Amino acid sequence: MIVLSIDSSSKVATVAILKDDVLLGEYILNDKREHSVILMPLIENLLKECNLSIDDIDGYVVSKGPGSFTGLRIGMATIKGMSFGNNKPYISISSLDALAYNLISFNGIICPIMDALRENVYTALYKNNNDSLEKIMDYTALDIDELVNLLKDKNEEVIFVGDGLYKHKKYICDNFPKAHFAPVHLNIIRASSLGELGLNLLKNGICDDSNSAPIYLKKPQAERELERRLKVNYES
């Protein structure tokens, strides 16, 4: 089975093609260009480099978040368009699952953290259970100090991974002695990790329907600002 996988949930744009247990190719760009501009050229170029056409793709995998509201919508729309246009199945996988899967071999708690602005992070907790990723805490948005206090209570070794480390690594180092950190190259969501998780599900006949939508966890900034203004007007 050949799958095309993309992630656009963060500043990184990444595309991968996998054939069963083999990664045929992967592009990763971390230069903040607009996903709406670069995603399709990345897909087209990767197909060409792998000597494939869109008709050779048996299924699609896309990130469902959490992450950038705009990026998630672009990624989901892109994959849905190709899936429906070619009558091939697709499945959406959490960005946090993909980050955690980068460190599946760690013997302890795997804690992906994605920047959710201010002092907040998107996170979930995982463990390796017989070489499968087991989620032990559901997707959520937390203040970084809340997360660290929660992990202290578990009294286990924890490895952190994700772009949230760019902002919060020093705080974690200063306040959580059981912390370990992923190598820099694993702190980005890789379409290959996302694709491997999705490929295994698609092979078992598990896929999304046309109504699937991204996981946002937090309301868009514009919506939160509108609610704030309405509240101020109501109280005045």
pLDDT digit of tens for each residue in the chain (236 aa)? 999 999 999 989 999 999 999 999 999 998 767 888 899 999 999 999 999 999 999 999 999 999 988 999 999 999 999 999 999 999 999 999 999 999 999 999 999 999 998 899 999 999 999 989 999 999 999 999 999 999 999 999 999 999 999 999 999 999 999 999 999 999 999 999 999 999 999 999 999 998 999 988 864 444 444 444 554 555 55
Cα 151 from Cα 145, distance rounded (Å): 10
Cα 198 from Cα 94, distance rounded (Å): 10
Which CATH number is correct for 102-186, 3.30.420.200, 3.30.70.20, 3.60.70.12, 3.40.50.300?
3.30.420.200
Q: Token pair for residue 151?
A: 């992990």
Q: Let me know: does 18 contact 192? Beta carbons within 8 Å.
A: yes
pLDDT for 120 = 93
List the strands of the sheet with 158-161, edge to edge. Answer: 132-143, 120-129, 109-115, 158-161, 179-181
β-pairing, 179-181 vs 158-161, is parallel
Cα 70 from Cα 8, distance rounded (Å): 9
pLDDT for 226 = 45
Amino acid at 24: L
102-186 shares the fold of 2-95+189-225: yes
Instruction: Using DSSP, state whether 137 is helix, strand or coil.
Output: strand
The structural domains of the chain, with segments of one domain joined by +, span 2-95+189-225, 102-186
Which class is domain 2-95+189-225? Answer: alpha beta
Cα 73 from Cα 64, distance rounded (Å): 9
Q: How far apart, in Å, are the Cα atoms of 131 and each of 36, 56, 103, 106? A: 35, 30, 11, 10
Report if pTM > 0.85: yes
pLDDT for 224 = 41
Going by C-beta distance under 8 Å and a sequence separation of 6 or more, which residues neighbour residue 83?
A: 60, 89, 90
